[in-house]
């Protein structure tokens, strides 16, 4: 799996080198990205991080569009420096001119959200349900208190949970 992506990264750099007639420093490539983002370019670290799950589920478009999108950020940074906007003219020039792709800012991949348990806290106010994350619930167990913004009473765990 990473071989195809690494090959595409290299192809994108070679295309840019032919187009701009100059060499570009190659980045470190990582698959340590989770969540909703398909890819991230860390400009100062010369690092590309990709979401392995979204790559597996959308490999063809991912290789074509997402890899070029992130490489274009690094190329733009190496060419024009820090004072450019992330999806500005310079980046768009590279997407259109070098890669002949639409300069889309965001992907349209389906994101599978994982379920989360919520711990229900209440106060004396009517219809007061405060769903706490597992992390916040743990903080309450350690002694942290949270107050209702309306009645200023301490929120108390109801003993109920729900999965969202």
User: Could you confirm whether 3 is annotated as catalytic?
Assistant: no
β-pair partners for 118: 162
pTM of the model: 0.72
Instruction: Please state which CATH class domain 1-99 belongs to.
Output: alpha beta
Distances (CA, A) of 135 to 35, 113, 117, 161: 18, 18, 10, 14
Instruction: Output the tens digit of pLDDT for each of the chain's 164 residues.
Output: 689 999 999 999 999 999 999 999 999 999 999 989 999 999 999 999 999 999 999 999 999 999 999 999 999 999 999 999 999 999 999 999 999 999 999 988 888 777 889 999 999 999 889 999 999 999 999 999 999 999 999 999 999 999 98
Catalytic one of 10, 45, 70, 90: 70
- DSSP per residue over 81-123, as a string? -TTS-TTSHHHHHIIIIIT-----SS------PPP-EEEEEE-
Select from 76, 67, 66, 86 the least CA-distant residue to 16.
Answer: 76
For 82, the token pair is 């820090």
**pLDDT for res 141:** 96
**Phi then psi dihedrals of residue 115, to 5 deg:** -75, 150
Domain boundaries, the chain: 1-99, 117-163
Let me know: does 158 contact 121? Beta carbons within 8 Å.
yes
HSE of 131 in the Cβ direction (CA atoms, 13 Å)?
A: 7
């Amino acid at each position: 799996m990473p071989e195809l992506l690494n090959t595409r990264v290299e192809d994108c750099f070679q295309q840019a080198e032919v187009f701009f007639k100059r060499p570009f420093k190659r980045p470190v490539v990582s698959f340590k990205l989770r969540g909703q983002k398909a890819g991230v370019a860390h400009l100062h670290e010369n690092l590309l991080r990709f979401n392995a799950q979204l790559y597996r589920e959308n490999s063809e478009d991912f290789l074509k569009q997402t890899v070029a999108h992130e490489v274009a950020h690094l190329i733009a940074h190496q060419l024009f420096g820090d004072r450019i906007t992330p999806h500005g003219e310079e980046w768009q020039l590279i997407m259109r001119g070098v890669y002949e792709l639409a300069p889309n800012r965001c992907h349209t991949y389906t994101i599978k959200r994982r379920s989360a348990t919520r711990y229900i806290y209440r106060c004396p106010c009517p219809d007061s349900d405060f769903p706490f994350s597992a992390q916040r619930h743990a903080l309450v167990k350690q002694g942290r208190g949270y107050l209702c913004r309306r009645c200023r009473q301490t929120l108390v765990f109801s003993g109920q949970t729900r999965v969202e």
